[in-house]
Amino acid sequence: GESVGLHLPTLSVQEGDNSIINCAYSNSASDYFIWYKQESGKGPQFIIDIRSNMDKRQGQRVTVLLNKTVKHLSLQIAATQPGDSAVYFCAENKWGAQKLVFGQGTRLTINP
């Protein structure tokens, strides 16, 4: 069946370092992938997305990489800041559909 998983449940990084959060997916038919950030007491917040016809997309301090060969997705956060502390989820679906399949999440902790 469909599943999206994360390699690590927790990640600790030093403030100012780069963070890399990984995600594996299993549905080859998925063509749209999204990263969400969820802070305590809040709903998930959209960070960045990528369609399957791309392998890299950059935003402000964030980059998403998609490797369709090994069904792997990663989120890179440059110069990690205390405000980046949160749980990060990857999600997949088909473009235009609404049924997102989420991974279990990775908790990112920033050390001062």
Partner 1 sequence: KAGVTQTPRYLIKTRGQQVTLSCSPISGHRSVSWYQQTPGQGLQFLFEYFSETQRNKGNFPGRFSGRQFSNSRSEMNVSTLELGDSALYLCASRTGTSANNEQFFGPGTRLTVL
Residues that bind partner 1 (CB under 8 A): 32, 36, 41-46, 49, 89, 91, 93, 95-105
62 vs 100, which CB is nearer to partner 1? 100
Quote the least distance from Cβ 18 to partner 1, whole Å: 25
Q: Cα–Cα distance between 3 and 7 in angstroms, integer?
A: 13
Quote the least distance from Cβ 93 to partner 1, whole Å: 8
- Torsion, Cα 111 66 34 91, to 10 degrees, reads -90
Quote the least distance from Cβ 68 to partner 1, whole Å: 19
Of the candidates 71, 77, 72, 101, the one whose C-alpha atom is nearest the C-alpha of residue 89 is 101
Q: Cα–Cα distance between 112 and 41 in angstroms, integer?
A: 23
Quote the least distance from Cβ 37 to partner 1, whole Å: 11
84 vs 105, which CB is nearer to partner 1? 105
* 3-state class (DSSP) for residue 48: strand
36 vs 85, which CB is nearer to partner 1? 36
